[in-house]
Structures are given as structure tokens and as C-alpha cells.
Chain A
């Protein structure tokens, strides 16, 4: 997949993984596992980017005698998810246009 496109999609995937409740690194990877293999380094970069864009916030909480970082989606993050749904409809219609062209050529 095109890198730029993949990056945008992964950002939205991670936002979707924390939209119902706050989550932590390994849980996000587990949640996405059925759909896509996500490495720790990749996830770290995405989380950093989303934090810088204020689409999520981070807090540390005690868990079993150690600290664990939890990620919480912000209002801007939820807005981004809604925008994505609209954008995706446009992409689907573009996809139909592209594949129709292909069918004509065959």
C-alpha cells in the first residue's frame, strides 16, 4: 500500500481502537491483530504523532506495581474519526470510478 495512505489509515485505526475506552500499547496491538500486524515501533510513532496533533492525550496509571501509559481520545480525535467516514465515502466512489475504467478496457 502507498505509504502516505497507509499512515493516514493507521492513524485512524489507532483512534478507533481507543474510542470506546482508554487503552494501552499492547492492548491496541492485540485489538488490531485480526485486521493488521502492527509493530511496537510503528505504533509508538503513530501515538506520538496523534499526541502532537492533540487527537489523543496520555496519562500514566499504576498497574500491578508498575506504571502503564493509557491513551485517551480527545474531542478533536473523535472529529477526525467522523471526518474519516465522510472521506471514505468519497474514496469508495473514486474506487468505483477506477475499477469501472478497468472493466471497460478488458
Chain B
């Protein structure tokens, strides 16, 4: 790939970011390619050394805070015409509702995800408490039949086993949910970035 193509693809991939930021990055990469060529590399080798352009774009987007991306997206590129403002206001019952609905969907996805995790931990806690209670009463219920105490104690042990087993499951689920949370946030970010060029 040549320098021009590399920079064009980088610019396209970052089109949702603030323009001055993108321009500065493009200059930085352009300078780096020129310096490599001065060092004796061919243009293609110089571009190759920078790494895959898709990875560079992904890294930059991951490092940019979502608030910054949204702020850039929301800022109008030109002054709005009076009729556009009128339309915007008149249409607010529609788009405002849609916007709120979109937010609600995202929040409910997160809520469902984390309530699943929470319920797993609740079961885990219940198992642990009942295991301890059963084992303790098996030991401490003096004056009752040995069979009852033995049943309680062995029941407690089974519960304790289940509790340990579920602990690892719950931990894995928590990690999975955290990973998903991050991925969903990244996906929302990617909706804001890099779509402009497609329109």
C-alpha cells in the first residue's frame, strides 16, 4: 500500500473524530512514513512498518472517550436553516421518543445482563448460608436423633460442594458480563465513528 492510500483509509476510518485531531494524526503518520523513506525504505515498506491500518483505526477509536465522539457528532457542521429548526422542534415528539427508546434499550440490555449475574450470586450466597447452617445444626443439635443430625450434616456438605461449584460458574459469568458490557460500549462507539463516509 502506498502512503496516499494509507492516509486516505486512515482518514476515512476516523471520520467521526474531531477534524483537528484527525489532521494532526494524519500529519504524524505522514511524517513517520517520510522519515522511514529517508532512512532508506521504499514507500511500500515504510507503510508496511506502521502495521495494518484497520488495527490502527481500532486502537485510536478505543482510546478516544465516547463523550468526545458524541460531542463531535452532535456539533452541526454548518449553521442550521430556520426551517430546519422548525422541523426539529415539530418533530421532537417523534425523535425525542425514539432517542429515549434507544437509550432505554441499551440500559435494559445492561440491566438484564447484570441481573442474571446478580441472581447467580444470590443463589451462590443462599447455598453458602444454608450449607453453613445445615452443617452447624448437624453438629450442634444435641439431644436429637443421630440420623437427623447425620442427614443435616451430609446435606450441608452437599450444599457446600454445590456452592463451591457455583462459585466458579458465577465468577465466569461475571467476567463474561463485564466483557460483554465493554463490547457493547465499543459497538455503540463504532456506530458513531466511521459511518459518515458511508453516507
How many A-B contacts if CB must be within 8 Å?
A: 40
Establish whether residues B50 and A40, one from each chain, have CB atoms under 8 Å apart when the complex forms: yes
Q: Decide if A26 is an interface residue (CB 8 Å cutoff).
A: yes
List chain A residues, Cβ under 8 A from B36. 26
Residue A44, interface by CB 8 Å = yes
The binding surface of chain A is classed by DSSP as helix
Report B-chain residues with C-beta under 8 Å of the C-beta of A66.
31, 34
State how many angstroms separate the Cβ of A42 from the closest Cβ of chain B. Answer: 8
Q: Does B28 contact A (CB under 8 A)?
A: yes
Q: Which of A29, A40, A67 interacts with B29 by CB under 8 Å?
A: A40
Report how many residues on chain B are interfacial, defined by Cβ distance under 8 Å: 17
Q: How far is the CA of A68 from the CA of B27 in the complex (A)?
A: 9
Do residues B60 and A25 form an inter-chain contact, with CB atoms below 8 A? no
Which of these, B31, B34, B59, contacts A41 with CB under 8 Å? Answer: B59
B56 within 8 A of A: yes
Chain B nearest CB: distance from A14 CB in Å? 14
Nearest B residue to A45, CB-CB: B63
Q: Determine whether the beta carbon of B31 is less than 8 Å from that of A24.
A: yes
- Say yes or no for A21: interface residue by CB 8 A criterion: no
Asked whether, in the complex, the Cβ of A40 is within 8 Å of the Cβ of B63, the reply is no
Residues of A with C-beta under 8 A to B27: 69
Interface residue? B32 (CB, 8 A): yes
Q: Report how far A28 CA is from B32 CA in the complex, Å.
A: 11
- For residue B51, CB closer than 8 A to chain A, the reply is yes
With A40-B56, A41-B60, A45-B63 as given contacts, are A25 and B38 in contact (CB-CB < 8 Å)?
Answer: no
Residue of B nearest to A39 (CB): B51
Q: Mark B6-33, 1 if CB is under 8 A from A, else 0.
A: 0000000000000000000101110110
Q: Which residue of A lies closest to B50 (CB)?
A: A40
A sample of 30 inter-chain contacts (CB < 8 A) reads A25-B28, A25-B31, A25-B32, A25-B35, A26-B31, A26-B32, A26-B35, A26-B36, A26-B39, A27-B35, A29-B32, A39-B50, A39-B51, A39-B59, A40-B28, A40-B50, A40-B51, A40-B56, A41-B56, A41-B60, A41-B63, A42-B59, A66-B31, A66-B34, A67-B31, A68-B31, A68-B35, A69-B27, A69-B28, A69-B31
- Listed in ascending order, the chain B residues whose CB lies under 8 Å from chain A are 25, 27-29, 31-32, 34-36, 38-39, 50-51, 56, 59-60, 63
Partner-B contacts on A (CB < 8 A): 24-27, 29, 39-42, 44-45, 64, 66-69
